[in-house]
Amino acid sequence: MGMDPFTLFERHINPGLAGLLRFTGLDRTESHAEGPYVWDTTGKRYLDFLGLYGTLNLGHRHPKVVAAVEAQLRRMPMSVRVLVSEPTARLAAKLAEITPEGLEMVFFGNSGAEAVEAAIKLARAYTGKPGIVTTQGGFHGKTMGALSLTPKPEYQDPAKPLLPGVKVVPYGDLEALEAALDEDTAAVIVEPIQGEGGIRVPPEGYLRGVRELTQKRGILMIADEVQTGLGRTGKLFGVDWEGVSPDLMTLAKALGGGVMPIGACVGRREVFEVFKQNPLYHSSTFGGNPLAAAAALAAIEVTLEENLPERALEVGGYLMEGLKALQGEFPHLIEDVRGRGLMLGIEFTDADIGALVVAELAERGVITAFGLNNPKVVRLEPPLIIGKEHVDEALAALSESLKATERALEGLLG
């Protein structure tokens, strides 16, 4: 039999995270998954309202993505790289077609952080300048370059020194951004909606403002769509809300259809010039491998065929109504509910209340998570394929969880 996997995780992978999982009652081992549901090894079923932070837009094991990966697995899962992989080349063309006007070139990696690393290197090579401006509460990954753009002391401090040339400005503030730009600035990186930062929606006009400011100053705009991309917010891309076309756009998470890991940095042709003189300036052995590319092609097809952005808007609106009603019922627990499409956040009046609610929800078979970046906010990012019946199921569990949390707090206060 051997030791149970949770204990192995705790001993050999991450004791700190194991402690957090134990606190929320998620000290379980997963068994299998289908659509919006996951089962643990005791047979308990959970409704997945976290969706791997915006990865599982199509739910778990979408049959069309699985079929595409199976077919590619039987043909050629791994590229030799000195020949061209057909699914990889087709995926690049597809991304050029569906991303905003002017984005035509693609670099493939295996994750969001790698997509961001590529964006940093491309921006520096193209402009010949070192500076990158990022935002407070922004999250761009945890590899050294991406980490340097993720201003969170808990993540950054033990890893210092970071990349030089990074400036941090408040999110949503165009004046502060303008003041931070100087002759050393290569690029500005922004999330259309901050995810890890606690589902922060910027003021109307912010993305357009960033575009105008950067354009005026000859600085690149990098839109980090790792979490917002591919329908999550109710449009295919987060920048579509303001009709903005950045110079570089990073994608990952949902791009692999919830089946394969893949990351992509999509950009303007001129920004990719460096590869003409210097073909191996940036590369990754597994980046955009045929299996991942086949998954991504199928994922894009399903996303468009099933109108998932529209569906996210509709089902997300219904979920938001339910959340607002619960906020009205429990104003002492819930401070704010916000977001767009199916990228929603519940801000609790206190971080511990959020943690208690997450634990109560897990008990009732609904998976969510509080962000370590902004612990007062519990994020809801369910698969975009869910229906109103799943929302009703989650809202019923949330209502019960809020009542249970209230009882627990009353008990604590005597």
How far is the C-alpha of 195 from the C-alpha of 51, rounded, in Å? 13
**Among residues 139 and 241, whose Cβ is nearest to ligand PMP?**
139
Three-state SS for 247?
coil
Q: How many residues lie near ligand PMP (CB under 6 A)? A: 15
Residue 192 interacts with ligand PMP (CB under 6 A): yes or no: no
Contact 242, 227 (CB under 8 A): no
Please report, as residue ranges, which positions from 165 to 184 form the binding site for ligand PMP (by CB under 6 A).
none
State the nearest-atom distance from the C-beta of 224 to ligand PMP, in Å.
4
The only residue of 10, 224, 240, 381 in contact with ligand PMP, by rule CB under 6 A: 224
369 contacts ligand PMP (rule: CB under 6 A) = no
Q: How far apart are CA 287 and CA 265, in angstroms?
A: 11
Q: Which listed residue (38, 120, 226, 343) binds ligand PMP by CB under 6 A?
A: 226
Of 24, 111, 303, 368, the residue at the interface with ligand PMP (CB under 6 A) is 111
3-class secondary-structure state, position 236:
coil
Cβ 86 to ligand PMP, closest distance in Å? 25
Give me the catalytic one of 94, 235, 253, 376. Answer: 253
Q: Which is nearer to ligand PMP, 118 or 402 (CB)?
A: 118
* CB closer to ligand PMP, 85 vs 111: 111
Q: Which residues contact 15 (CB under 8 A, 6 or more apart)?
A: none
Contact segment (CB under 6 A) with ligand PMP among 41-49, 137-145, 266-274, 388-396 equals 137-145
The SS3 assignment for 22 reads helix
Sole residue written with tokens 């003409």 = 276
113 belongs to an annotated ligand binding site: yes
Token digits for 208? 């357009």
Residue 220 makes CB contacts below 8 A (sequence gap 6+) with: 123, 126, 127, 186, 187, 188, 214, 246, 247, 248, 271
Whether 160 sits among the annotated catalytic residues: the reply is: no
- In sequence order, the 6+-apart residues with CB closer than 8 A to the CB of 63 are none
CB of 325 to ligand PMP, least distance (A): 29
Residue 253 appears among annotated catalytic residues: yes
| 264 in a known ligand binding site | no
CA distances from 93 to 88, 106, 230, 261, 330 (A): 9, 9, 16, 19, 49
Q: Does 112 bind ligand PMP (CB under 6 A)?
A: yes
Tell whether residue 187 is among the known ligand binding residues: no
Rule CB under 6 A: is residue 289 a binding residue for ligand PMP? no
Measuring CA to CA, which residue among 253, 289, 260 is closest to residue 57? 253
**Where on the chain is the footprint of ligand PMP (CB under 6 A)?**
53, 111-113, 116, 139-141, 191, 195-196, 224, 226-227, 252
Residues marked as catalytic? 139, 224, 253
